[in-house]
Structure 1
Amino acid sequence: MQAHVKDFTHRLVASPAGRIHLVEQGTGPLVLLVHGFPESWYSWRHQLPALAAAGYRAVAVDVRGYGRSSRPADPAAYRMLDLVEDNAQVVRALGEETAVIVGHDWGATIAANSALLRPDVFRAVGLLSVPYTPRGGPRPSEIFARMGGEEEFYVSYFQRPGRAEAEIEPDVRGWLAGFYAALSADTMPAPDAADPHFVGPGGTLRDRFPTGPLPAWLGEDDLDVYAGEFERTGLTGALNRYRNMDRDWEDLASLDGAPVTQPSLFAGGLLDASTTWLKDAIDAYPVTLPGLVSSHLLEGCGHWIQQERPAEVNRILTDWLAALPG
């Protein structure tokens, strides 16, 4: 359901990579919304009008590599340092000095690092679905390689350029439908089924995706929006985020163990692997997110939290924003 899309303002602004496409609605203090994989600005379609109605200038970007934003050819151009600078540049390009930043999935990690690296710009940070985990420990590729035994964790599967693209791009719409369904509360595989986050020997990720109806939050027209963008751009720009995790680990060594001290928010779904696997990260919030204002785990909710539970997430966001200083 593409509600309120006609009310959105689209624009392109200059960024270090060339351009960032953004969609905005409303006036007031700036709230920057950063999506995850494999999505686009459109994943915030329910939040833009709600935040605008609450008195904010809500801006959702296409992250570098997605949609109408630039897609550099060099895989190293998708490192965290560059994505943080894109966000800071968007704030400047909009004529603002500071913003609240809110991210989902990879966007949550990008938002947290934006707050860490540019506290002069980002005065508060909201994290959806993926908990904040400070940089530290072994090299990420070594951690992921040890997961799953004979099976391969999806992050490792995504590493080799062209490999995941060969699975996804022949049927982008079908693959996206299965991926979204696999992580949605109402369509995810049963707990005793093969885990769709892993690839069996000689298999593909799609082998374990549900093949039934779409999740309740995802209409055919919504799927058309996502599929249309990736059919046009391909998946390489999006997948290059995963291909920089070791590079980020090196780049961000000075932030080892660093807490995010700005006022913060976390919301996740209780049925989302991101919250169950990273329970220890949530438990550590008194140390890692000392500015945490509120934390929410939604019953019966999967990974796509702001689309599965838009009214609830909108209320959580607007209550938190209203309580922020300034």
Structure 2
Amino acid sequence: MPQPASTPEPSSSVPGAVHRLVDGPGGRIHLLEQGTGPLVLMIHGFPETSYSWRHQLPAVAAAGFRAVAVDVRGYGRSSAPDDVDAYRLTALVGDNVGVVHALGEETATVVGHDWGSPVAANSALLRPDMFTAAAMLSVPYAPWNPMRPTEGFARIGGSEEFYVSYFQEPGRAEAEIDPDVRGWLAGFYSALSADTMPPPDGASPFFVPSGARMRDRFPRGPLPSWLTEADLDVYSAEFARTGLTGGLNRYRNVDRDWGDLAVWDGARLTRPSLFIGGALDSSTTWMADAIAAYPRTLPGLVSSHILEGCGHWIQQERATEVNDLLTGWLHTVHA
């Protein structure tokens, strides 16, 4: 089988990792690859890229695995289709299938963070023959339920607008992001980081008053301890080049996902799984019921961990701890 094409290393180079471009159902997929052994496919969230796995790639490779982190479609150097509905969950699962085939493999363990978590979970749910285990970071697994997502998000907001609702209209969020991509990213990362997030009794950036912008409530001050100026340069350079529409289009497909996955109503994820969340992460608190339901919804769960004092960017905030939990789990499911 022909090998995926190697590409010149960009400014976001991760030492020891090889950059490749492979063909997927939606166009090209850019990925970082390091190590040999069973394939471990890592899926980032919003607003990130394959660079967010820079601490995990060498650790997973050193543990005896072929570690691969992709740029999800719409991000980095992967293709960015114009149609909003090209970013539905089933399409991203299809991209994962395409990557596994392009790498000459038959199976993979899939690991996802943030939006990558439901992409990973649904990869194992829809294609358990290929994705034989799934790790979910920050966003818990929750089976399909009868409430249309946009209706549920509208209820969460109350008198203010929940950020997922704010993201629904194409161009609206882009209008506040594009004039200062670096500043917007710094504020968004800070708002969900343990050492820079607003106090619990403060105004949340993830609820937007009428006529306001998300960034109006972003923290102002030093960067989170996990994010260096150089790291922020990498992210901001990528998104200044591509824009954030591809990532925002993931939010704009929640109702399409709901329709696509209705046949999986209440489905349990039976493949071996792992969950790691941050105790200070709003995803963990908003979805506490989903975590409590794991004995029923994740019968293959190997272990679940809530890291005290940790925010949302878990594999970057607490890289060593996440690496230990992740590689220990990988050795368990590949024993």
User: Partners in 2 of 1:79 and 1:28 — Cα distance?
Assistant: 31
> TM-score, structure 2 length as denominator?
0.96
User: Partners in 2 of 1:316 and 1:190 — Cα distance?
Assistant: 29
Following superposition, the deviation at residue 120 of structure 1 comes to 1.1
1:318 matched residue in structure 2: 327
Note if 1:289 corresponds to 2:313. Answer: no
Following superposition, the deviation at residue 148 of structure 1 comes to 2.0
Following superposition, the deviation at residue 137 of structure 1 comes to 2.4
Note if 1:25 corresponds to 2:34. Answer: yes
Following superposition, the deviation at residue 195 of structure 1 comes to 1.1
Match 1:241 to one of 241, 247, 250: 250
> TM-score, structure 1 length as denominator?
0.98
Mapping of residues 1-326 of structure 1, within 5 Å: 5-326=14-335
Cα RMSD between the aligned structures? Answer: 1.1
Assess, with a 3 A threshold, how the Cα gap between structure 1 residues 169 and 4 changes in structure 2: closer, same or farther. closer
Contact preservation (8 Å) 1:260, 1:290: yes
Larger mean Cα displacement after TM superposition, 4-13 or 65-74: 4-13
Give a deviation string over 1:222-267, Cα, whole Å, max 9, x none. Answer: 0011000100001111100000000000011111110100000000
Q: Which runs of 5+ in 1 are unaligned?
A: none
User: Partners in 2 of 1:3 and 1:158 — Cα distance?
Assistant: 27
**2:120 match: secondary structure:** helix
Contact preservation (8 Å) 1:4, 1:49: no
User: Partners in 1 of 2:15 and 2:279 — Cα distance?
Assistant: 33
User: Partners in 2 of 1:3 and 1:249 — Cα distance?
Assistant: 35
Contact preservation (8 Å) 1:16, 1:86: yes
Assess, with a 3 A threshold, how the Cα gap between structure 1 residues 100 and 134 changes in structure 2: closer, same or farther. same
Contact preservation (8 Å) 2:30, 2:71: yes
1:5 partner letter = V
Q: Which runs of 5+ in 2 are unaligned?
A: 1-10
User: Partners in 1 of 2:205 and 2:183 — Cα distance?
Assistant: 15
Give a deviation string over 1:159-209, Cα, whole Å, max 9, x none. Answer: 000000001111000000000000000000011110111101110100111
Aligned length: 325
